[in-house]
Amino acid sequence: MKETRLGDFEETLLLLVGILDMEAYAFKIAEEFESQTTRATSIGAVHSTLNRLSEKGFLTSEMGASTAARGGRRKRIYTITASGQRTLEASRDFKVSLWNQFPAFAGAKLNFNV
């Protein structure tokens, strides 16, 4: 059984795949990552992570259409699987539950005099 937890980078990419939907292929995802996070990355790093997420069963992919900008080459479009979606939700729920346990934030009111 493969490791099924998500790292930070993995989680972000998984979300980006969801956001980009039909445009979710390595180059676009890398661009989107850089513009949303203002952190630099390389296509290779993104591709590697996408590959890993596929192996974990969170993503599936198939070859899509080609465009002139790619010299007529096809691109690999990634889609989130049901298990990917569940893992994302679980990750979010887990964090929310952690947030709720943090008394200072849970009450939405900061009281330092207690």
Interface ranges with other proteins (CB under 8 A): 25-27, 30-31, 42-45, 47-48, 51-52, 63, 66-71, 73-76
Interatomic CA distance for residues 14 and 8, integer angstroms = 10
Residue in the structure block whose two tokens are 């690999």: 76
Interatomic CA distance for residues 29 and 19, integer angstroms = 10
The nearer residue to other proteins, 11 or 31, going by C-beta atoms, is 31
Shortest distance (Å) from residue 31 CB to other proteins: 7
Shortest distance (Å) from residue 44 CB to other proteins: 4
DSSP conformation letters of 98-113: HHHH-HHHHTSS--TT
The nearer residue to other proteins, 12 or 75, going by C-beta atoms, is 75
